[in-house]
Structures are given as C-alpha cells and as structure tokens.
C-alpha cells in the first residue's frame, strides 16, 4: 500500500481520497477508522427547555424515543434533539448503532450486557444508573460489533 500526503493551502478543509481496485474489508475498516477519528470532534445540538447545548458525540450514551421527541442520554443528563432516529442513523459515526425500533446506542460506552434469551437484553454503562434495552433482533449484530471493535484495539 502506498500512502501520500499532498499539502494544498488553497483547500478549505481536509480531504482524504482512497484509491483502490475494489472495495475490500480492509479498505472499509480504514474508512470507518478515519471517520471515527474525525467524529471525535463532532458536536450535536441538544436542548433542555429553552437552552441549547453543544455536546461532543462521545458524551452520548444512547438516543431513544421519548414521549414527545427523541431523547439523548449522557451519564448525568437527558436532552432533547430535533432529529428523528432515522436521521440520526444517517449521520452518526460508525460506533453508533440501532439496537431496537426506538433506540440508537454508542457502542464505545457499553460496560455490560445482561442477556435475556426470551426478551430484550439490558445494556449497562459505567458510572451511571442508566440502562437501555436491546431487542432480540439486534442482539447478535450488537455482539458482533462489540467483538469487532475489541479485535481492532
């Protein structure tokens, strides 16, 4: 593999181009890794009553459907977002994934999973009482993603 860096002060923002004969797993993992590195500085606008907050995506444990809107949970707080879950899925980095019809999880924040064979399993997070349920249909993809992330590290 050949890696080149071209400096161009006229560019408005950085651009990474990957040229390859075909899309392989290795190339896909590289793209995902680069996206995740870039996303560590990504912020999202969230709300509590009349106040707007600008939080790093890394602070979010999960998003879930609330009574009237989508809620974003951090270790200590809960915020509202104006996005729908399907909109969040489109722009969130690869370490977020859908875990039920009503929730998206930050897989980097998973501390434990209490497996339940007959119903939804429970995901726990470190240093908080908050939990979220993983539906049976999403359990195996979640386990695969967590295993994949463990191997990459």
Residue 108 maps to which CATH number? 2.40.50.1020
67-91: pLDDT as tens digits: 889 999 999 999 999 999 999 998 8
- Distance between CA atoms of residues 20 and 102, nearest Å: 37
- Could you read off the pLDDT of 88-140 as tens digits, one per residue? 998 888 889 999 999 999 999 999 999 887 778 999 999 999 999 999 999 99
Q: Cα(55)–Cα(78) distance, rounded to whole angstroms?
A: 12
In a domain, 26, yes or no: no
Rounded to whole angstroms, the Cα distance separating 50 from 57 reads: 21
Question: pTM surpassing 0.95?
Answer: no
The reply to whether 120 falls in a domain is yes
Domain that holds residue 85: 42-152
Question: Domain tally for the chain?
Answer: 1
CB under 8 A, 24+ apart: contacts of 111-118: 113/142, 113/143, 115/139
């Amino acid at each position: 593999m050949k890696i080149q860096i071209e400096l161009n002060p006229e560019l408005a923002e950085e651009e990474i181009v990957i040229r390859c004969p075909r899309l392989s797993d290795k190339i896909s993992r590289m793209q995902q890794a680069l996206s995740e590195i870039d996303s560590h500085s990504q912020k999202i606008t969230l709300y509590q009553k009349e106040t707007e907050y600008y939080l790093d995506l890394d602070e979010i444990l999960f998003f879930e459907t609330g009574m009237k809107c989508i809620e974003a949970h951090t270790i200590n707080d809960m915020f509202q977002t104006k996005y729908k879950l399907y909109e969040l899925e489109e722009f969130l980095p690869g370490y977020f994934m859908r875990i039920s019809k009503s929730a998206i999880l930050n897989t980097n924040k998973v501390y434990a999973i209490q497996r339940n064979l007959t119903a939804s399993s429970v995901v726990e997070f470190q240093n908080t009482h908050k939990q979220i349920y993983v539906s049976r249909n999403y359990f195996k993809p979640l386990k695969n993603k967590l295993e994949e992330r463990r191997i990459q590290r």
